[in-house]
Structure 1
Amino acid sequence: MDIKRAREIINSTGMTNVKYNEKSVWLENIIEATNEVEVKDLETGERHLVDVSKLV
């Protein structure tokens, strides 16, 4: 995924299935300076800061 697509997903009103390490995540925040996205694991509730390219 890229930053543009991550921004589209965050700004959308619908639910978009996004995965990180084969787990469903919710996109929380974009950090463009480092090309990272803060995500929330939908199963555990844990938050992670990940490179946007690792999101599917």
Structure 2
Amino acid sequence: VFSSLEKLGCQNFNSRSVKGLESRFESILLAYSVLLSRAQRRFEGTLRYSLGY
């Protein structure tokens, strides 16, 4: 999971405030969630991208 978040730019937090950091992190998690949802629909019937895996 963390390597996927790094690809989305998680390591480049250049925020000067806590709110900026929260906003950036929430947007990254939202993008990751959308990508995971699409992968689950595409590879339906396998455990490769299941939430419990």
TM-score by length of 2: 0.25
Structure with more contact order per residue of length (Cα contacts < 8 Å, sep ≥ 6): 1
Relative to total residues, which structure has the larger strand share, 1 or 2? 1
Which structure has the larger Rg?
Answer: 2
